[in-house]
Amino acid sequence: MTDNIELTHQQARAFRPDKLSPPRDFLVPNIIGENKDNVPLILEVGAGKGKHALSFAAQNADKHLIAIERTRNKFEAFAKLATMQNASNLDAIHADAIAWIVHAIAPNSVAKIFILYPNPEQHNPNQQWLNMPFFEFLLSRLQVGGEVTLVTNIEAYMDNAEQQATDTWSLPNERYQVIDDSQRTHFEVKYLARGETCWELCMQKPEGYKTRFDDWQVDAVNQKIA
């Protein structure tokens, strides 16, 4: 990114991280405070029952995945499987992702973020991920060159996300059609089996990218380490 690119998101209403309290039973995984080997840190937002998280951890021993799920019954199913798999490079977190990320993740520390088949929020488009002021904060946690991968079966959601990535967030991005035999999540398996088209948008944080939260961080003294 060059200095003459206008970052329109910095003119929009700003997210207020200082207004968010930590999630109930808030814990920070050891990897965040003890990553001396600089293992790439990966986030998954909305992990569901953990199909993608468990597979990713098994196939990427050189990376550490923190997978967050808010819904209790889905998280409990995920946590049970994660305990059985016992992967040292996976942390399953039961929390609201926005509040947890605000209180746990440092600026410029995440290599990749997965948002796979989020709620399409068709009746409340302001809650779609790339429409939310929080997305600027999320980008501040991403390393330069880091990626956000968004996947959905709703073409209108993807059309909007692609436009927002370019026009609002000034992110280089590429859009793909998910291959027919992909099985990353239970939703993906179901949608592709029904013959639906699923879309993937890969966005990258370029060199020189600035947000209003690049230096904002919660006081780590008050955090509890899991």
**Distance between CA atoms of residues 153 and 120, nearest Å:** 9
Torsion over CA: 124, 197, 204, 41 (sign): positive
Domain that holds residue 106: 38-205
- Asked whether residue 26 is assigned to any structural domain, the reply reads no
Confidence of residue 4 (pLDDT cuts 50, 70, 90): very low
Q: What is the CATH number of the domain that holds 152?
A: 3.40.50.150
Residue 16 in domain? no
- Specify if 33 maps to a domain: no
Residue 11 lies in a domain: no
User: E strands of 139-191, at which residues?
Assistant: 142-152, 173-177
Rounded mean pLDDT of 48-53?
98
Residue 138 lies in a domain: yes
In a domain, 50, yes or no: yes
**Phi/psi at 56 (5° precision):** -60, -45
Read off the pLDDT band of 8 (50, 70, 90).
low
pTM, two decimal places: 0.93
Q: What is the mean pLDDT of the chain?
A: 92
Count how many domains the chain has: 1
Cβ–Cβ under 8 Å, residues 65 and 44: yes
Please give the Cα distance from 96 to 23 (Å, whole number). 7
Whole-angstrom distance, CA of residue 206 vs CA of residue 225: 31
What's residue 5's pLDDT? 45
